[in-house]
Amino acid sequence: MSPHVRKAAVVAAAGTLVAGLAIYGSAQAQEEPVQPHDPPVTQQSTLRAAAEASGRFVGTAINDGLLSDPTYSSIASSEFSSVTAENVMKWEAVQPSQGSFDFSGGDRLVDFAQANDQQVWGHTLVWHSQLPGWVSGGGFGADELRGVMNDHIAEVAGHFAGEVAYWDVVNEAFNEDGTRRQSVFQTTLGDGYIAEAFRAADAADPNAKLCINDYNIEGVNAKSDGVYELVSSLLDQGVPIDCVGFQSHLIVGQVPGDLQQNIERFTELGVEVVLTEIDIRMTMPSDAAKLEQQRQDYETVVAACTAVPGCAGATVWGISDRDSWVPDVFPGEGAACPWDENYQRKPAYDGIVAGFGS
């Protein structure tokens, strides 16, 4: 049990004792005038407190360029127990040219997390997107690309060793039909590149938990079946894989009905599941009905995690609608985050708190 959870338990127990004494006292001294008292304290005043009370973490993706904004940084530091690098740990950011590494953005995130008693989620070591051209179009042979991939993992995971709790080792490796995405790694190195990447990450940082991460795998479908079969195979081979990330980029009113069932089948393999990139977008403009449905959807998603012991936590992909990636990628859609464009809490915030059981 974490110190935060222990503290929450002590507070709850103390509250019960005080309530009991108050009832007893009223029976003994009914003639005494009623004294004014402070209003009850809200026990779950932040997402972080709600998550910790359920034994889980709650995270957000951090936009490095916004850490200097006091409103943004205040929410990020107080509401979350985990932070994910939105972009600054991706390949194009840390190794824009071969052998030249820039860890400044990632180091800022680590410093921020350590100052606020948060864990760091590393994102991501091997991904087909946001690759520098020298990797995606370099024309490497298999032996050369294998060396490039393993060197990158060794340098990046090694640099942050001991400071990152989880790594997205391989990101978005599957097509919608459950076949392998034909990335430069897949086409050059073949199916074995995923196992090799996990082994390299484990060698570079044996204390970090190592994850495979993908989208549209929240429900039981062809894509999640493909990931399931891979994870089962990797475990059979003794590959050090610790968790599966369900990105959870969802649409209002379209949360898969078998989300909890799917979480359960992965955890039964012996790996953790984490909801890694939650946002729930809607067709714009938003209105009260859509925001209420979004609140219910956030509650449903987080509650599915809370219901499964092997689901370790949930991360939202961004804080406010003003900073979300959604409108740029899905024209006409947006309002996907728990805070609005003015950094005001939306009903979605309350849905997350309720989902953690608070």
* pLDDT over threshold 90, residue 46: yes
Q: Which of 8-22, 25-39, 117-131: highest mean pLDDT?
A: 117-131
Q: Is 0.75 surpassed by the pTM of this model?
A: yes
Active site residue 92: no
Distance between CA atoms of 23 and 35, rounded to whole angstroms? 14
Q: What is the pLDDT of residue 41?
A: 35
User: For 196-232, how does the pLDDT look when each residue is reduced to its tens digit (9 = 90+)?
Assistant: 999 999 999 999 999 999 999 999 999 999 999 999 9
* pLDDT over threshold 50, residue 17: no
DSSP string, 264-298: HHHHTTT-EEEEEEEEEEEESSP-HHHHHHHHHHH
Q: Which residue, 246, 255, 249, 350, is CA-closest to 308?
A: 246
Please tell me which residue, 255 or 35, carries the higher pLDDT value: 255
* pLDDT over threshold 50, residue 22: no
Q: Residues near 352 by Cβ (< 8 Å), separated by ≥ 6?
A: 47, 50, 58, 298, 299, 302, 314, 316, 338
Mean pLDDT of 225-242: 98
Q: What is the pLDDT of residue 138?
A: 73
Q: What is the pLDDT of residue 8?
A: 36
Q: What is the pLDDT of residue 45?
A: 84
b/e 209-247 (16+ beta carbons within 10 angstroms → b) = bbbbbbbbbbbbbebbbbbbebbeebeeeebbbbbbbbb
* pLDDT over threshold 90, residue 319: yes
Share of the chain above pLDDT 70, in %: 88
* pLDDT over threshold 50, residue 42: no
b/e 102-119 (16+ beta carbons within 10 angstroms → b) = ebebbeebbebbeeeebb
Please tell me which residue, 24 or 200, carries the higher pLDDT value: 200
Mean pLDDT of 234-251: 98
* pLDDT over threshold 60, residue 174: yes
- The neighbour count for residue 261, using CB atoms within 10 Å, is 13
303, 354 in Cβ contact below 8 A?
yes
Mean pLDDT of the chain: 90
Active site residue 31: no
User: Which of 7-16, 41-50, 183-192 has the least mean pLDDT?
Assistant: 7-16
Please tell me which residue, 137 or 163, carries the higher pLDDT value: 163
User: Which of 38-47, 167-176, 306-315 has the least mean pLDDT?
Assistant: 38-47
Catalytic residue among 52, 79, 86, 277: 277
Catalytic residue among 52, 79, 172, 218: 172
User: For 326-343, how does the pLDDT look when each residue is reduced to its tens digit (9 = 90+)?
Assistant: 999 999 999 999 999 999
Q: What are the beta bridge partners of residue 84?
A: 61, 121
User: Which of 66-75, 93-102, 130-139, 218-227 has the least mean pLDDT?
Assistant: 130-139
Query: Which domains, ranges and CATH numbers included, belong to the chain?
Result: 47-355 (3.20.20.80)
